[in-house]
Amino acid sequence: MADVKEKEAFYEKLTPNSLGPLWERMKGLVSPEPRNKAKPFVWYYDTVRPLLMESGDLLTAEEAERRVLVFDNPEFAGTSRINSTLYAGVQLILPGETAPAHKHAAGALRFILESEGGYTTVDGERSEMKRGDVVITPGGTFHDHGHDGTGPVIWIDALDVPMVNFFECGFSEELQDSKQKVTKQSGHSTAEFGSGMLPLVSSAPFGLNSPVFSYPYDRARNALLSLKASAAPDPYIGYSLRYANPLDGGWVMPMIAAWLVHLPRGFSTAPYRATDNQAIVISEGRVSVEMNGEAFDLGSNDVMALPGWTWRTMRASEDAVIFFFSDRSAQEKLGLWKEERGNI
């Protein structure tokens, strides 16, 4: 058959016709296993917080629309992705400020780091934000954030915007007024859907999203730590509970999964990998994460990108509570998610 030169000459005829030879690309297109390009990487709060506070002197939340420092995975610098598929950032609201009402197709999930008096309003319902709370904003719902208290309000944002943009489905809109009208009593969605009961006449007001906006830390943490009394930790995961949609038991959002892990002091997880692209925020304690033979030491409020299909172990040097988020929710819906548990 043809030699290399003849093949190259043929390929030159293809290019101007917007054609290409699959046989040269096959291996790259359907790899034997995922070759995740994202880097395991840590953003230390000691570095992030002062820079975020400095941004507070530079512009107001109103001016910025959202005053956020974006976590750029070093492998994807400038593309606003913490890992291959998820956006994440750290947002600051100062006392009296409002991040004006808008909506977008992308869904957002927030993990609150610092807040006395911070709140978000989602679809006419105000929800307070306290440290460790998880607050969701279903795609397509108006939301604005504000702050009635003192001190900075700071949280981690996770959005599925890279996936929405991959599908080229991104719509967004600003509301005329900077604050949307509050039409519901605070706690309404929790009363209706989040108290172990459901409305007799069923409805899913936000489609595949949980109808509950707020998952308070106290409840989540207490439940997680209570497991210790009666069960052993999973050797690969530790103790874990996931944030669930009470309507169907699924993940809280269609494309973002979230869960909370407790690792007791001295506990080490066995080698594990899964295809979902994850990131973690340390809520309590100290954790050392080993990925690809590289060790990372994390403490309170540190954020780490954990690329998919990369072996890892975790060890807690102090009792630890870790918040996880990932694209597992999207991968499962598409039938793509896979995990592998190493030998113990």
Q: How many CB atoms lie within 10 A of CB 199?
A: 11
- Least distance (Å) between residue 99 CB and ligand GTQ: 6
When computed from its CA atoms, the radius of gyration of the chain, rounded to whole angstroms, is 22
> Does residue number 260 form part of the binding site for ligand GTQ (CB under 6 A)?
no
Cα distance between residue 135 and residue 112, in whole Å: 8
Beta strands in 149-302 (DSSP E): 153-159, 172-174, 214-215, 239-242, 257-263, 272-274, 278-284, 287-291, 294-298
The binder of ligand GTQ chosen from 159, 237, 289, 304 (CB under 6 A): 159
The binder of ligand GTQ chosen from 36, 41, 81, 89 (CB under 6 A): 89
> Does residue number 91 form part of the binding site for ligand GTQ (CB under 6 A)?
yes
**Of the candidates 223, 200, 197, 224, which has an alpha carbon nearest to the alpha carbon of residue 212?**
197
> Does residue number 283 form part of the binding site for ligand GTQ (CB under 6 A)?
no
Cα distance between residue 10 and residue 2, in whole Å: 10
> Does residue number 108 form part of the binding site for ligand GTQ (CB under 6 A)?
yes
Which lies closer to ligand GTQ via its Cβ, residue 121 or residue 326? 121
Q: What is the per-residue binding string for ligand GTQ in 109-148, x denoting contact by CB under 6 A?
A: ----------------------------------x-----
Cα distance between residue 183 and residue 2, in whole Å: 72
Q: What is the per-residue binding string for ligand GTQ in 47-86, x denoting contact by CB under 6 A?
A: -------------------x-x------------------
**Of the candidates 208, 304, 209, which has an alpha carbon nearest to the alpha carbon of residue 261?**
304
Which lies closer to ligand GTQ via its Cβ, residue 71 or residue 272? 71
Residues that bind ligand GTQ (CB under 6 A): 66, 68, 89, 91, 104, 108, 143, 157, 159
